[in-house]
Copies of this chain bind each other. A is one copy, B any other.
Amino acid sequence: VPQPVTIYNIAEKLGLTASTVSRALRNHPDISKATKKQVQDAAKKMKYKHNVAASTLRTGSTKTIGVVVPQINNYFFSSVISGIEEVAQEHRFNIIICQTNEDFEKEVQSVRTLIQQNVAAIFISLSKATQHNRHLKEAVSHKIPVVQFDRTDCTLKGLKVLNDNLSASIAAVRHLAGQGYSRIAFLAGPKHVNIFQERFEGYKQGIKENGFGYRKEWVAFDCLTKEKAKEALLKIWKLPARPDAILVSADLAAVGVLDAAKELGIKVPQQLGLCGFSNEPYTQWTSPSITSINQFSSEIGRKCMELFLEQKNAEKKLREKTIMIQPELVVRESSVRVP
């Protein structure tokens, strides 16, 4: 059983003092090359283990990033985390992950815990149920930088990494128009969440830009699940005036549309063009495969980390900065009727 080795043990062994050892270990410029090498070798040989708690207590700062997401187990968020982790590891940061399950209470709770842990930063994507941003302000008041990504609070200034959802929707509508569709319906998410609002906005702009009329009976809100989407299509299909294409705010909902279409005997893409959002892996494997929007999720994660590091190393702290990621339309079978 290895009895923990401290810098004092190393110092003693080498006839030095703890401060010198401490500095040598951290590559402090004051220390001579010879001493550094000597100390570092000894440390390795003696299996010295840096005591993170002690150094945190002393310096008041950790090398840990707290990440708060609605759900870990979906492709988008897990890829974001994966991206964060990648850059974090390079810079010897650890990450602590909290999932809120779209519950606001849990989100507040998570942020509090992270503040307690005295994390170096908090990266957060808000839950659908988020009602205010006091918990984020609390973090900031504790001098903990907050980086918001994807689902953010637009009333709160600060560091953000976003997808250009507006352009994405416009691009999708343009693509559908290019395929000869002109009667485009839309399945939206909850109105109060920024990303879904932007997607909706993009849809409206796209429609307008292409000279199509906006019909509110072709738009359904809060349609993010398979079931809701199915229901929505069934309802829309009963209308006297049917759409010939549908843009959907989430891939899962697009799968629901596909299901409903199968039931109703609607041929996709011939009778109904379909376009999803997020480019979840399974969109390739449905039949027909689903046209979707690639959000470069792991890139979002990497950018969060980079933005934080930039802020950390900046002379004067950035009060705000937004990095906008350009999504990419991935065309698949569900929206192509022009060869």
Contact = CB atoms under 8 A, between A and B. Distances in A.
Contacts of A57: 51, 53-54, 57
A173 to B, nearest CB: 25
Contacts of A96: 64, 94-96
Given A94-B113, A96-B95, A282-B282, A72 B85 contact: yes
A155 interface: no
B79 A73 contact: yes
Interface in A210-255: 255
Interface string A56-80: 1100001010000001111100110
A131 interface: no
Interface in A282-307: 282, 285-287, 298
B82 A99 contact: yes
Contacts of A270: none
A117 B94 contact: yes
A305 to B, nearest CB: 14
A1 interface: yes
A335 interface: no
29 contacts: A1-B141, A1-B143, A49-B142, A51-B118, A52-B116, A52-B118, A53-B53, A53-B54, A53-B56, A53-B118, A71-B82, A72-B81, A72-B85, A73-B79, A73-B82, A74-B78, A78-B78, A81-B97, A94-B96, A94-B113, A94-B117, A95-B96, A96-B96, A258-B285, A281-B282, A282-B282, A282-B285, A285-B285, A287-B287
Interface of A: 1-2, 49-54, 56-57, 62, 64, 71-75, 78-79, 81-82, 85, 89, 92, 94-99, 113, 115-118, 141-143, 255, 258, 281-282, 285-287, 298
* Chain A to chain B: the 5 pairs with minimum beta-carbon distance, closest first: A282-B282, A53-B56, A73-B78, A53-B57, A78-B78
